Amino acid sequence: MKANLWISAMLVAAACAGCGHRKASAPALQAKAAGTAIVVASGDKQLGSPGSQLPQPLVLQVNDDQGNTVTGAKVQISGPRGVVFDPAQVLTDDNGQATFKVTLGGISGRYELTASSQDAHGKTFTLTVAEFAAGYQQEVGYEVNQKYCSRCHNPDSTTEQVSNYDNLAVKPHSFSSGEVYNKFSDADLATVISHGGPAMNRSSLMPPYGWTLDKAEMQAVIAYIRLVSDPPYVVPGVVYGKH
């Protein structure tokens, strides 16, 4: 009996001793300066797999009224359920920039992230950026785009691929040009891809790919175009509700 009482006393003493050594919570992050606008420096509109960390960090910049960068401004970022940020809030560095690692949610689709900060009067200003989680079909569409489409539809040249955009008399639209492609049905896009631009009264510089791509690959390209569309593509006749 005495042994049991002694053990109980030791357990209580150990528990109480531990109470005094608990790690204090980190103090709230306090802004040291304030700006008036957030802009993207790099890392928006990236394509990743569901549940994966994006290959590049999202870098945002805080500017003042004159467009000068602001050091020490507090920037917070949030997004849909399932998206993880590291960190979720930070003070801008000496370049006025805030850097976040972003891990996408577990389902494919468009993820809109919102960054916020406050001006000198405590008024919140925000910026919304988009990142994309590609499912299998959309990933296939991206690969087909990289192999056949982007050399004309992407005006930017890279070391891996030199763009042909500047050599074309009629400039192709980027696949993210929702104001253009959202007006086309999936069947219309399939017709253009398969039979070339003239099939839909578009530029003859768009060649037919019906002999190059199979039906699944063409549908994959369309799925990719719908994913990266800006503004977002809305399926005709479908009502979207907010939860």
- The reported pLDDT for the residue numbered 90 is 97
Q: For residue range 167-215, list pLDDT tens digits in order.
A: 889 999 999 999 999 999 999 999 999 999 999 999 999 999 999 999 9
Statement: residue 29 has pLDDT above 60: yes
- The reported pLDDT for the residue numbered 20 is 46
Q: For residue range 37-94, list pLDDT tens digits in order.
A: 999 999 999 999 999 999 999 999 999 999 999 999 999 999 999 999 999 999 999 9
b/e per residue, 158-193, with b = 16+ CB within 10 A?
Answer: eeeeebebeeeeeebebbbbbeebbebeeeebbbbb
Q: Are residues 66 and 129 in the same domain?
A: yes
Tokens of 131: 């990142």
Last residue of a domain, one of 133, 158, 183: 133
Last residue of a domain, one of 102, 118, 133: 133
Last residue of a domain, one of 102, 133, 164: 133
Tokens of 9: 């006393």
Q: What percent of the chain has pLDDT over 70?
A: 86
- Using the Cα atoms of residue 113, residue 179, residue 175 and residue 133 in order, give the sign of their dihedral: positive
Q: Answer yes or no: are the C-beta atoms of 146 and 106 closer than 8 Å.
A: no
CATH value at residue 175:
1.10.760.10
- The reported pLDDT for the residue numbered 157 is 73
In a domain, 3, yes or no: no
Q: For residue range 140-172, list pLDDT tens digits in order.
A: 999 999 999 999 998 887 777 788 888 889 999
Domain total in the chain: 2
Range of the domain at 180: 136-228
Q: 183: helix, coil or strand?
A: coil
**Helix runs in 154-243, H state only:** 178-181, 186-195, 215-228
Closest listed residue to residue 61, CA positions, set 91, 87, 88, 26? 91
Looking at the chain, which runs of residues are DSSP E strands? 37-42, 47-48, 58-63, 74-78, 84-86, 89-91, 97-103, 109-118, 124-133
Q: Are residues 96 and 140 in the same domain?
A: no
Tokens of 25: 């919570």
CATH value at residue 94:
2.60.40.10
Q: Are residues 126 and 142 in the same domain?
A: no
> Which helix (H) or strand (E) element contains residue 136?
helix 136-144
Q: For residue range 111-133, list pLDDT tens digits in order.
A: 999 999 999 999 999 999 999 99
Cα 117 to Cα 41, 42, 77: the distances in Å are 16, 18, 9
Q: Are residues 84 and 172 in the same domain?
A: no
Tokens of 190: 């399939």
Q: Are residues 129 and 180 in the same domain?
A: no
Statement: residue 223 has pLDDT above 80: yes
In a domain, 196, yes or no: yes
In a domain, 29, yes or no: no
Q: Which residue has the higher pLDDT, 233 or 155?
A: 233
Sheet arrangement for strand 58-63: 37-42, 58-63, 97-103, 84-86
